Amino acid sequence: MVSSLFWVILLCNSFLFVDCLNGEGQALLLFNQSIWQDPDGSLSNWNSSDENPCFWNGITCRDGSVVSISIPKKGLVGSIPSSFGSLSSLRHINLRNNKLYGSLPVELFYAQGLQSLVFSGNLLSGSVPTEIGKLKYLQILDLSDNSFNGSMPDSLLQCRRLKTLDLGHNNFTSSLPVRFGSSFGALEKLNLSYNRFNGSLPGDIGNLSSLQETVDLSHNRFSGLIPPGLGNVPEKVYIDLTYNNLSGPIPQNGALVNRGPTAFIGNLGLCGPPLKNQCPSDGSSSIPSSFPSFPGNSPPVTSNGDDNGRRKGHRSWSTRIVIAIVVADVIGIGLMGLLFFYCYLRLVSWKNKNEGRSLDKGQKGRRACMCFRKDESETQSENVEQFDLVPLDVQVGFDLDELLKASAFVLGKSGIGIVYKVVLEDGLTLAVRRLGEGGSQRFKEFQTEVEAIGKLRHPNIVILRAYYWSVDEKLLIYDYVPNGNLVAAIHGKSGMVPFSPLSWHLRLKIMKGIAKGLAYLHEFSPKKYVHGDLKPSNVLLGLDMEPYISDFGVGRLANIAGGSPALQSNRMTSEKLQSQPSEISVNLAMNAGSCYQAPEALKVLKPSQKWDVYSYGVILLELISGRSPMIVLGTSEMDLVRWVQFCIEEKKPLSEILDPFLAEEPEREDEMVAVLKIALACVQTNPERRPYMRHVSDALDRLIING
């Protein structure tokens, strides 16, 4: 008896304490033992003396069983043990951005309840075991940024609940499995970029009907035609096919129609819109040749067309003619050499004179010979094509390649382009507006305008961070504002249940912020700008409901870029997603934009600051009343300004004008009346009687301070 007790005590005090820790804890300790570098001490409280591992760092338990292992970005150096597979209740593993090496153990996939496997950003290698097909409940598989190789196992198609498949930045080879598109009906994110996948794209890839954000197939070796079915994926999905070996015409259907050329660059064999390479009409090979077509490239045509005729044609060249051609070529090459040598001397001289000076932004990247006259070189710069991202802010830390491979999905569409939400790999979120694809003659004008807009800095104006210009693509890159626009905040958006109305405090905050932003544009910005298209859909809201005025100058930039025939975007039918109130009919929604236009806008083409004041007054009325800009009265319609004026003339009670939700704050009624008076002053028919925005802003400041 004493001897038995001695051995129990000895085992419980041994190095591993294996008899004092349950089986799951012992399995996890094997991982601890495989880690030989833990710079942050992330596993320091993994003690074998504990009864179970449920209180260890990175471990989550449910009903006493381990369900999650999450230790990301801790610099762990080591390998993945096979013991993880013995954790029968394990659902989630997240070990991203460490320094784990080796391969995925086959035993890992014995934990068949796994729902997410995230190993991105490590040093893992080898092939993915076919046993992965046992994970019937797997929803997230992220193996990106490792060194995995081999093919994508066919067994992966058995994971039909998969929502995220990210294999980017590895060394995977071979073609995609048959029925790839038909097997992943729940897939929302697909990233296969920067691998060596080859073969043709699956014809059923368009069956991925649940996709969101970006389908990134770039930087691989896919070949053949783009399957027309790819256009069947949701239109909001951005399809990135750059840098493959694809060929033939680009299908013009569905989600492929609105893609710019940046989605297809690096595929020399592709042709047709939106690329400039025209597809051959005779049905011959669609691969464009980079070799120039000269008459001498084809064999001489003879009367009989046989080899003898061709040899006769060659004999018809006399020796003297051949010598003359050779001599002329030599002389021409010599003259070209002298010219280039002269240009080189001029360039060296110019560099010496300007040594120590920094190139301005407009000259960056130019390859000037300096042999042209000044007026000639300036004329050429008018038609220059930029093929790189131009930052407008010193804090821009991303480049064009990062932007193109980022996750993106459509925020909205309008007459002046499509707006995408773009999430870079480091988590930075941006808003990217794609302007028209036409226009190649007005780069300098576009550059001047966009750089002036990029200098605007105010807490209530969306910042333009960078732009991209080429003949076929123009992009504007802004800060992303995460809380939707003012339309949705006032009226809710379709399908948003329940809807939480804005409190009076938040409405005042929004009114004040918009006023400050407009006052800055009108009087304190470098050129005293006019917005010209102010409306609630152009007022975005931050996380703290701080308003940001957006789309300033976009109409003019779209005109310069050649993508918009209209001078003002508010004269076009808006198709912006998440911007139309659920209770407004389609016809009213089409007319709503004109409700924010000042009356004189129908007669005078040039916008004025008083236009903005009027638009701001309509927004105030909308915030006060909670009503739409167009109101239905029986079978007729009336804009909001006339309706409020009608209520006042008819001496209707204030409660009929105010948003019913504001009735819960009767103590703020005096402030509401004061704001109503400011709004009515802003919507005066005579523009000269409207106040300046700085006066409006000051009045609101005093109101809030007094409140």
Annotated active-site positions, please? 533
- Residue 407's H or E segment, with its range, is strand 407-414
**Residue 118: exposed, middle, or buried by beta-carbon count in 10 A (0-12, 13-18, 19+)?**
buried
Backbone angles phi, psi at 549, to 5 degrees: -75, 130
CB 536 within 8 A of CB 486: yes
**138 closest CA partner among 175, 165, 106:** 165
564, two tokens: 């918009």
Residues 664-670: contacts with CB within 8 Å, 24+ apart?
Answer: 665/503, 665/504, 668/504, 668/707
**235 closest CA partner among 265, 257, 266, 261:** 257
**632 closest CA partner among 678, 588, 673:** 588
- Residue 346's H or E segment, with its range, is helix 319-353
- Residue 549's H or E segment, with its range, is strand 547-549
CA distance 648 to 681: 14
- Residue 141's H or E segment, with its range, is strand 140-142
Looking at residue 386, its amino acid is Q
CB 465 within 8 A of CB 478: yes
CB 251 within 8 A of CB 461: no
3-state secondary structure of 261: helix
**109 closest CA partner among 140, 123, 88:** 88
Backbone angles phi, psi at 271, to 5 degrees: -150, 165
The residues with which 223 forms a beta bridge, in sequence order, are: 200, 245
CA distance 549 to 526: 17
Residue 175 to residues 184, 197, 474, 481, 507: CA-CA distances in angstroms?
17, 6, 34, 40, 56
Chain-centre distance of CA 526, in angstroms?
30
CA distance 36 to 47: 16
Total Cβ atoms within 10 A of residue 284: 8
> Residue written as tokens 């739409």?
628
* Half-sphere exposure for 498 (CA within 13 Å, toward CB): 3
Rounded to a whole number of angstroms, the CA Rg of the chain reads 33
Residues in contact with 474: Cβ distance below 8 Å, sequence separation at least 6, in sequence order: 434, 435, 436, 437, 439, 446, 467, 468, 557, 561, 563
CB 659 within 8 A of CB 625: yes
**607 closest CA partner among 549, 539, 556:** 556
499, two tokens: 């809807």
CA distance 609 to 530: 5
CB 204 within 8 A of CB 180: yes
CB 222 within 8 A of CB 435: no
CB 247 within 8 A of CB 275: no
| Max intra-chain CA distance, the chain | 118
